[in-house]
Amino acid sequence: MSIYHKIVRKIGIAFALSGVASMAFINVNAYAEQKYNWKISQGIAEDHPAAERAKQFADLVGERTDGRFNIKYYPSGVLGDWSEQIEANRMGTLELSLNAGSTTYDKRLNLTFMPYMFRTWDQVREASKADGWLMPIFDDLYGQVGMKVLGVYLNAWGGMAFTDRVNHIAKTPETFKGIKIRTPPILIFESYIPALGFISTPIAFSETYSALQTGIVDARSAAPAVEAYVMRDALDYWVETRDNFEYWFLTVNAKKWEALSKEDQAMLQEVANEVMSEQAIEAEKDEQRFKQQLADAGVTVHELSQEEWEQSARVVRNEVWPLIEKELLGPELMQIVLDNVPQLAD
C-alpha cells in the first residue's frame, strides 16, 4: 500500500471514530435530557392520606428534575377504581399507581393480607422498609405481572367492627362464635375468619354499610379505624384486633421503568423511599386520630392485651397457616415468612 493510500486510510478512520464519538455524545445528552409526561393516581378517596402522598411524590420528582419529569396527579376515580388503575398500571397506560394490593394476578399476593404476622408498628415498619424482608418479595411478585414496586405504603391495621346486635364484647375466639361477619371476597380472609369462630359472609366493600344496617351481617372484618369511622352510624363498638395489616404499593409500569436511565431510576427510588418512610410514621398518628374520632362519635374502642391477641394468633398460625401455605403461598414463600415473623410466647 502506498504512503498516499495509508494517509487517506488513517484520515478516514479518524473521521469515522470522530463520528462515532460525536453520535455517542449526542445520544448520551439526548438520553439525559429526555422529558417525561406521566400520570399518577390512587383509587380510594380524595380525603385519604394516599392522595397527598401521591401528590407529594409527583411534586418532589418534578422539583429534583427541574420539571423534566412532569407527573400529573389524577384524583380518585377519574381513571377508574383501584382495581382498574392497577390494570392500567400493569398495561402501561397509567405510569404510576398508589393503590391497595391486588390478589387477582397471582394467588401468592394474598401475602398482602397475611393474618397474625405482626402485632406492633415497629415490627411492620422494620419488615416493609426499603431494605426490609417484605420489599423484595412484593417487588418480585408484582414484577412478574408487569409492575415495579417502588415502595410499600403502610396504610392501617385491620380491626373488627360490631353493631349493637352483638350484645357482648368480642375479642377472642371463644367470644367470636356464631357472629355473622362481613369478610372481603379475598381467599385469605375466607380461610382464617371462619377458623376464629365467625359465620363468614363475603361481601363487596360497596355493599358493606347497607349489610350492617339491614342485619345481613352483624359485624365486619378488615375494618381499619378510618373505615370504621366512615361507617360509624351503623356501629356500636370497634375492636383493634390487628389480625392483619393493610399494605398498599407505589408501583411503576415495569417497561417504563426499564427504559429509564440508571440515574433516573435511582432518583425515583430515592424519592419513593423518602415518601414511604414519612408515611410509615404518619400512618400510626392517623390511626390514633381516627380511633379518637370513633370514640368521640360514640363508637366504643377496645384494644387487646398481648395474651388476647395471641389467643387468636395461635389458632390461625396453627390451624390456618398450613392451609395458606398449601393453597396460596407455596412452601418457598411460606418458609420466608416463618423465618422472619416474630414468634409467639411459649
336 in any annotated domain: yes
Within this chain, do residues 86 and 206 fall inside the same structural domain, yes or no? no
Q: Domain limits at 332?
A: 160-244+292-340
C-alpha cell at 245: 395489616
Domain containing residue 319: CATH number: 3.40.190.170
Output the pLDDT for position 1.
Answer: 53
- What is the distance between the alpha carbons of residues 122 and 217, in angstroms, rounded to a whole number? 34
Output the pLDDT for position 45.
Answer: 81
pTM: 0.85
Output the pLDDT for position 9.
Answer: 56
- What is the distance between the alpha carbons of residues 101 and 189, in angstroms, rounded to a whole number? 14
Tell me how many domains the chain contains: 2
310 in any annotated domain: yes
Within this chain, do residues 168 and 147 fall inside the same structural domain, yes or no? no
Output the pLDDT for position 94.
Answer: 98
SS3 75: coil
SS3 341: coil
Output the pLDDT for position 59.
Answer: 98
Output the pLDDT for position 44.
Answer: 82
Residue ranges in the chain modelled with pLDDT below 70: 1-32, 346
Residue type, 228: A
E strands present in the chain: 36-41, 69-74, 96-100, 147-157, 160-162, 180-183, 199-202, 219-220, 237-240, 245-253, 300-303
Contacts of 164 (CB under 8 A, 6+ apart): 236
First to last CA, the chain: 89
